[in-house]
Amino acid sequence: MIISAPTIHIQLSVVGRLTAPAHILSLNSSRVNSEVYANNTIELTINSAYPVPITLDGVIQGSDVSVFELNPGRHTFSVPETVQIRTGTRLKFENWSDGVTASNRTEYLSRDATFTAMYVLQYSLILVSPEVNVTGIGWYNAGTSAALFAPASAPMGGILGLIGARWIFQGWYEEGVFVSSSNQFSASMTKPHRYHAIWTADYTVAGIVSGIGFIVIFLGSYFYRRRIARVTSAHTSSFSHANNRDSRGGRPE
């Protein structure tokens, strides 16, 4: 039985809808006339066109539950920061319709209330480059542009890099298809992307350095052997001369 005394009746209706071009998903709640039931409870109804879980007073509500009876007063409710839709696609919480940016909030409910959680659709950008570090990996709002950057060239790791061997950027590829030869590339985030950076090895400087090093080592070895030979020859000559003097009794001729 419903009485006419001042009452509170809250209905939170959550509806998901993508709106182009901003790709915003809104979880809309509707305000209804206040009614107080005989047992002095608030009826909270939650509807969602998209299965976004809502936590009410610390309890995660199942998507199959839509009507709750609560006592008037302070209540805490929240929505997820992110909701994974599929690989490379997610929803990211932006703010509530009243400007609150925290997804978790506590309100004292003394009358009908409307809350709208705003979500933005996002796509992932994955960059594969085992040889050289590149930048641009992350999540981007749908419809925006992502800046990819790879150095035009970079030294190889290890001893080859120390003697001048380098990686030279060749281009970006997606699923084996050539996309761009520019090391600075802007990708339109209308879907998830996975780009591979392709590099070629340049051993020109390393070859020159290696050649010079070989020549230096060869010449150093050559002159070292000559020096050893001269020193050995000088010692041999001195030893022979000393033996000749000893054989003549140490007297000069």
Both 66 and 113 in one domain: the answer is yes
Both 102 and 22 in one domain: the answer is yes
Closest CA to 46 of 70, 29, 26: 29
27 part of a folded domain: yes
How many domains would you assign to the chain?
Answer: 2
d(CA 162, CA 86): 44
Q: Residue-wise pLDDT tens for the chain (253 aa)? A: 344 444 333 333 443 333 334 444 444 444 444 444 445 777 666 655 467 788 889 998 766 665 677 888 888 888 889 999 999 999 999 988 788 899 898 888 777 777 777 889 999 999 999 999 999 999 999 999 999 999 999 998 888 878 788 999 999 999 999 999 999 999 999 999 999 999 999 888 655 555 555 555 645 565 556 666 666 665 565 655 555 565 555 555 5
Are the C-beta atoms of residues 25 and 57 closer than 8 Å to each other? Answer: no
d(CA 116, CA 121): 16
Question: What does the block give as tokens for 160?
Answer: 């080859």
Both 43 and 94 in one domain: the answer is yes
Both 149 and 169 in one domain: the answer is yes
194 part of a folded domain: yes
Cβ atoms within 10 Å, residue 40: 11
For residue 46, the enclosing domain spans: 18-122
Are the C-beta atoms of residues 47 and 13 closer than 8 Å to each other? Answer: yes
